[in-house]
Amino acid sequence: MTGSESTKLPAVSAVAGQTPTISKPDGTPPAKLVFEDVIVGTGAEVLPTSTLTVHYVLMTWSDGKLIESSWSGEPATFPLAQVVQGWQQGLPGAKEGGRRLLVIPPDMGYGASGAGPIKPNETLIFAVDIIKVA
């Protein structure tokens, strides 16, 4: 894990194959990217050049609201190089079959502009299940 140890990270459920739950965040969000494996995968390792198939849930730190979940439909597939910087820096090293918690500061997410339901300068909390690494 990287970042401030004084920040209490949200808890993420660790039941493989089930939609993860994320506890409501508490306190000041970390200023730097924080990531940790909730479930350690045993498959192929994510590289910066990988194309990933994942399921994820997104919560915003400021209000603890679930903003988005791929679990209601099909998993998302994309080149890692084409998503927010927090994913690009926080997912390499994770493995297929794993679940990783990402806490992404605004400058590595959607920044001052926000995006859709995401407010400007919002800290993002993702639980990402890595289904396939290509």
User: Do 91 and 37 meet the contact criterion of CB atoms below 8 Å apart?
Assistant: no
Q: In which domain, by residue range, is 115 found?
A: 34-133
What is the three-class DSSP state of 72?
helix
Q: Residue 126 is part of a domain; what is its CATH number?
A: 3.10.50.40
Largest pairwise CA distance in the chain: 37
Q: Looking at the domain assignment, is residue 13 inside a domain?
A: no
Q: Mind listing the pLDDT tens digit for each residue in 94-133?
A: 999 999 999 999 999 999 999 999 999 999 999 999 999 9
The count of domains in the chain is: 1
- Global confidence as pTM: 0.93
Closest CA to 109 of 91, 125, 96, 94: 125
Q: Looking at the domain assignment, is residue 46 inside a domain?
A: yes
What's the whole-number mean pLDDT along residues 67-82?
96
Closest CA to 87 of 104, 107, 67: 104
Cβ-based neighbour number of residue 7 at 10 Å: 18
Q: Looking at the domain assignment, is residue 123 inside a domain?
A: yes
- Residue 3 tokens read as 């970042």
Q: Looking at the domain assignment, is residue 70 inside a domain?
A: yes
Q: Looking at the domain assignment, is residue 7 inside a domain?
A: no
Q: Looking at the domain assignment, is residue 96 inside a domain?
A: yes
Chain mean pLDDT for the chain: 94
Q: Looking at the domain assignment, is residue 20 inside a domain?
A: no
